[in-house]
């Protein structure tokens, strides 16, 4: 029995030295620019220079999904929210870099620059992610799929910036 306890204690020391931690079942909300997760947020503006009519809906849905997943704040549809979010697409370039004999696109190039501005209505303060840029080549997928992947990555980078509140 004593040998069992020695083995158990040694294994706990080894696991803790590797960085493993034991946590309870209560999930904590990470610190963010929105506070402790009880504030309300609304998207009040999206500036989109592209010719795709679906981008506003796609960005709104991606922001809602990521905000709910990370539990940073609650969504409010009206202007009564504690925080107002503005999404500005500064640059939106797509092009077919390589085509075959039948003029089918084999390589898409997508370059998007996005900035997210957050206004705290109660304290009348502003915060910005700065201009987030993402540029990538995509093979054998449509331009629409490539744009969606880039936008999803930019939304992810925005939320990382929200949580990196120094």
Q: Which of 140 and 65 is assigned the larger pLDDT?
A: 65
CA 75/CA 64 separation, integer angstroms: 7
Percent of the chain residues past pLDDT 70, beyond the cut: 76
79: pLDDT confidence band, cut at 50, 70 and 90? confident
Would the pLDDT of 158 be above 90? yes
139-165 mean pLDDT: 87
Would the pLDDT of 65 be above 90? yes
- Residue 89: per-residue pLDDT: 96
CA 126/CA 149 separation, integer angstroms: 28
24: pLDDT confidence band, cut at 50, 70 and 90? very low
3-26 mean pLDDT: 58
Q: What is the DSSP string of 83-126?
A: EEEEEEEEEEEEEEEEE-TT--EEEEEEEEEEEEEEEETTTTEE
pLDDT in tens, 106-121: 677 889 999 999 999 9
Q: Which of 11 and 24 is assigned the larger pLDDT?
A: 11
**Which tokens belong to 16?**
């803790």
Count CA atoms closer than 13 A to 142's CA, side-chain side: 3
Would the pLDDT of 13 be above 90? no
CATH number of 30-163: 3.40.50
Q: Which of 83 and 94 is assigned the larger pLDDT?
A: 83
Mean pLDDT, the chain, rounded, equals: 83
């Amino acid at each position: 029995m004593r040998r069992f306890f020695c083995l158990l204690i040694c294994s706990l020391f080894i696991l803790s030295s590797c960085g493993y931690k034991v946590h309870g079942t209560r999930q904590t909300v990470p610190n963010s620019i929105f506070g402790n997760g009880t504030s309300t947020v609304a998207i009040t503006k999206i500036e989109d220079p592209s010719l795709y009519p679906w981008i506003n809906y796609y960005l709104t849905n991606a922001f809602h999904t990521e905000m709910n997943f990370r539990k940073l704040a609650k969504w409010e549809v009206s202007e009564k929210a504690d925080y107002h979010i503005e999404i500005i697409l500064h640059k939106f370039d797509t092009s077919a870099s390589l085509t075959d004999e039948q003029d089918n696109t084999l390589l898409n190039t997508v370059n998007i620059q996005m900035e997210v501005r957050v206004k705290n209505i109660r304290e009348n303060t502003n915060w910005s992610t700065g201009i987030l840029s993402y540029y990538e080549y995509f093979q054998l997928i449509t331009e629409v799929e490539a744009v969606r992947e880039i936008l999803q990555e930019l939304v992810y980078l925005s939320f990382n910036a929200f949580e990196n509140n120094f």
